[in-house]
Amino acid sequence: MLTMISRIEEVAKSVDQRQVECFLTEINRAERIFVLGAGRSGFVAKSFGMRLMHLGMIAYVVGETVTPAFHKGDTLVAFSGSGKTKSVLEACQTTQQIGGTICLITGTRSSPMADLATCVVHLQTDEESVHTGSDHFDLRQLKGEHRSMSQPSTPLGTLFETSAMIFADSIVSALIELKNCSIDDIIHRYSNMQ
Amino acid sequence: MLTMISRIEEVAKSVDQRQVECFLTEINRAERIFVLGAGRSGFVAKSFGMRLMHLGMIAYVVGETVTPAFHKGDTLVAFSGSGKTKSVLEACQTTQQIGGTICLITGTRSSPMADLATCVVHLQTDEESVHTGSDHFDLRQLKGEHRSMSQPSTPLGTLFETSAMIFADSIVSALIELKNCSIDDIIHRYSNMQ
Amino acid sequence: MLTMISRIEEVAKSVDQRQVECFLTEINRAERIFVLGAGRSGFVAKSFGMRLMHLGMIAYVVGETVTPAFHKGDTLVAFSGSGKTKSVLEACQTTQQIGGTICLITGTRSSPMADLATCVVHLQTDEESVHTGSDHFDLRQLKGEHRSMSQPSTPLGTLFETSAMIFADSIVSALIELKNCSIDDIIHRYSNMQ
Amino acid sequence: MLTMISRIEEVAKSVDQRQVECFLTEINRAERIFVLGAGRSGFVAKSFGMRLMHLGMIAYVVGETVTPAFHKGDTLVAFSGSGKTKSVLEACQTTQQIGGTICLITGTRSSPMADLATCVVHLQTDEESVHTGSDHFDLRQLKGEHRSMSQPSTPLGTLFETSAMIFADSIVSALIELKNCSIDDIIHRYSNMQ
């Protein structure tokens, strides 16, 4: 667990604060936010969407039952390690056509999604994969085959999803301050039916 | 397929129109509607919730990501063949404690949920099970062991879910008239991201 | 409700029995079945998938958490009224590339999905839409604007999903006979955790 | 983000290695694993369940469509910060009655779930809440009101879910080694339909 955390710490330290500011500004002023991710990134997206609802924001998960149509002026928050997952990329393309804002949290510097996004937060979890072209960097991470000169072999879990989850939670903390949310109001929105 | 339809037709003919009126009135005046069902009834509940969203109503599925807390004055629409499925019953109890309205679509005349509900629509899909006490009437239906004097053995699918789906769609039709919904507005709400 | 049922009955009567036989044969011999549909058709797909699991078959819902990769020899059961819903069509294309079998339940005679499918069950819920080219036939159905010479205006719910649900249940009944499933075994598989 | 990571690191350091060993042993020898959590913990549970499937293990998410009945000998992995979330607690009780194994990942030392579990991994994210009795420790965390003598106020995201996700990933890494999983086999199981 400690090896993973140390690796996540490196990721956190390398985040470009201007990207964080851009993301926070967009989320703070968004009227309706649609979150999306595929696979495990989808669970991170849902975790973030649930918190936005707790803060009193209007948030939807793409693909859930009562999610309405995405309209001009809406904001899509996409989580994608590779920046090219097909279903998420298509949603980004739709967003652009409709005239929405795309905020991307990704593990890859350059990607089709990054090209479309208004705002990109790059979590540097992928240096090696850029060189090898592997689409399955996280597998090597899982297996602990992640190596670099400055750092011995480390048995990692999937770095992108975990880093993205912590990043998203830090945004939630910042939004609570920015919007001056009351704890009582937040509690009042917690699901009381499960 | 025709045997099932004939059986659903019998169910439809036996529905008490005062129950339908009560249900329609409650749904029409509800401000926020939470839908719920377990297993296959849950999919019927979601189908209904999605249509309510299409009509511009505020609808949530209990258990989905951005579903907020249920508050006093909210309406729960529960689908339960037996009227006693644990998780759904607990949600009904919570609803009552909070001061919400419970609308129940059920296949059983008397049940713990029916005792709590403001409004019950009884789809008569269960005559025999009342006598046998079986909690698994739908299995006999599936296997075609459903028998009565007036009717030979018929290989049925689960009667309650299908009848409930058709009933819910008929309510949607009625709501479109009552609320004078515009087709263009409905189209405008269809999910455009999948 | 009765108007809808009468319309579903017409659909049932017009189903081509050779198509039903083909579908039943494919499902009966399938080793792993993946079900898929978008929107409300997705709930019908899940209802069917759940029943297959109850019968002891290996079934998965595309997009759920533990659904594994689709491999050569696997069977995809797609539910699509229009036969061209993007996400479902892409899954059909993937299935074809991998060497899987596609079984399509659809409301449209000719479609991109029908071109790819090994086996198509056409539920005739769409005559007018073929002529008008409308992609939103179900909206007119909902509003009751479905008209034909032989039939006055009828306030319908969405005909395809409901017909597909009843069709799928009739397949389940047939499978129970074909596989000679024991009721006790089926009960034994019912979820006991919700 | 760094403050959160530093707090997660403290949690990681305080984990009892015997608890980790117990958990790893149970998961490694389990034949069928059912994962469960409510709210955001549910997404962590699903993330873990998906990885188990990738490793070739038989894993189910409680509440998803094709999840079969839980039987004697099966293993439940429950994620619950408080150890008393109603729906999860009920699943633990059912598990015990059936004769299954309960593995709990929790943020609270003593709880109704901990009393039932064969194996508890306590992530120490809750010291203060024990004293205040608050069921909403994570809200204070979110707001940054988490204080202790040795540590200034820190704006945290929800510590339990994030720590649990990293813990679960570290278990996945260990399982890959224990089971000597081949990367090719893992890739072969990745969903190829979304």
Say what the ipTM of the complex is: 0.87
Distant-in-sequence, close-in-space partners of D41: CB < 8 Å, separation ≥ 6: D79, D80, D81, D85, D160, D161, D164
Q: Is the pLDDT of residue D58 over 80?
A: yes
Of residues A52, A66, A91, nearest to B59 (C-beta): A66
According to DSSP, the residues that pair with C109 across neighbouring strands are none
The region of weakest confidence among A50-54, B67-71, B139-143, D143-147 is D143-147
Q: Is the pLDDT of residue B19 over 80?
A: yes
Q: Do B67 and A94 touch (CB under 8 A)?
A: no
Residue of chain A whose alpha carbon sits nearest to that of B67: A191
For residue C69, which of C44, C86, C94, C90 has the smallest C-alpha distance? C94
Q: Do D166 and A8 touch (CB under 8 A)?
A: yes
Chains that touch C (3 or more CB pairs under 8 A): A, B, D
Interface test with D, best of A89, A146, A165 (most D CBs within 10 A): A165
Of residues C40, C166, C170, nearest to B50 (C-beta): C40
Q: Which residues of D touch A10 (CB under 8 A)?
A: none
Strand, helix or coil at C61?
strand
Mean pLDDT of chain D: 86
Mean pLDDT of chain C: 86
CB atoms within 10 A of CB D42: 28
Q: Which residues of D touch B86 (CB under 8 A)?
A: 90
Of residues C1, C9, C177, nearest to B170 (C-beta): C1
CA distance D148 to chain C (A): 39
Integer CA distances (angstroms), C96 to B186, C70, C186, in order: 35, 11, 32
Residue with tokens 């020898």: D29
CA distance C65 to chain D (A): 6
Q: What is the pLDDT at residue A47?
A: 97
Residue of chain B whose alpha carbon sits nearest to that of A66: B50
Please give the average per-residue pLDDT across C97-123, as a whole number. Answer: 97
- Residue spans of chain A under pLDDT 50: 128-137, 144-157
Contact call for residues D105 and D119 (beta carbons, < 8 A): no
pLDDT tens across A135-144, in order? 444 555 555 4
Cite the DSSP H helix spans in chain C: 2-13, 17-29, 39-54, 86-98, 112-116, 127-132, 137-143, 159-178, 183-189
Q: Do B142 and C172 touch (CB under 8 A)?
A: yes
Q: What is the pTM of this model?
A: 0.89
Mean pLDDT of chain B: 86
CB atoms within 10 A of CB C97: 10
Most confident of B35-39, B157-161, B173-177, D123-127: B35-39
pLDDT tens across C22-32, in order? 999 999 999 99
Q: What is the pLDDT at residue A140?
A: 54
Q: Which residues of A touch B168 (CB under 8 A)?
A: none
Q: Do C193 and D62 touch (CB under 8 A)?
A: yes
| DSSP designation for D38 | S
pLDDT tens across D106-129, in order? 999 999 999 999 999 999 987 544
Q: What is the pLDDT at residue D149?
A: 32
pLDDT tens across D127-136, in order? 544 334 344 4
Q: What is the CA radius of gyration of chain D?
A: 17
Q: What is the pLDDT at residue D90?
A: 96
Torsion angle in degrees (nearest 10) through CA of B176, B180, B185, B186: 0
Residue of chain B whose alpha carbon sits nearest to that of C155: B173
pLDDT tens across B39-80, in order? 999 999 999 999 999 999 999 999 999 999 999 999 999 999
CA distance D2 to chain C (A): 30
According to DSSP, the residues that pair with D185 across neighbouring strands are none
Q: Residues of chain C with pLDDT > 70: what percent?
A: 84
Q: Do A66 and B63 touch (CB under 8 A)?
A: no
The token pair at C14 is: 């017009």
How big is the CA angle at D129 (ends B90 and B65), to the nearest 5 degrees? Answer: 45
CB atoms within 10 A of CB D66: 24
Interface test with B, best of D36, D87, D88 (most B CBs within 10 A): D87
Q: Could you give the domains of chain A?
A: 2-180 (3.40.50.10490)
Q: Is the pLDDT of residue B194 over 90?
A: no
**What is the identity of the amino acid at A67?**
T
CA distance D138 to chain C (A): 26
Residue of chain A whose alpha carbon sits nearest to that of B90: A193
Give the total residue count for chain B.
Answer: 194
Strand, helix or coil at D58?
strand
Q: What is the pLDDT at residue D3?
A: 87
The region of weakest confidence among A113-127, B7-21, B150-164, C88-102 is B150-164
Query: Distance (Å, rounded) from C-alpha B93 to C-alpha D48?
Result: 32
pLDDT tens across C30-85, in order? 999 999 999 999 999 999 999 999 999 999 999 999 999 999 999 999 999 999 99
Q: Do C155 and B144 touch (CB under 8 A)?
A: no
Q: Is the pLDDT of residue D67 over 80?
A: yes
Of residues A63, A66, A94, nearest to B61 (C-beta): A66
Distant-in-sequence, close-in-space partners of B115: CB < 8 Å, separation ≥ 6: none
Q: Is the pLDDT of residue D155 over 80?
A: no
Q: Residues of chain C with pLDDT > 90: what percent?
A: 72
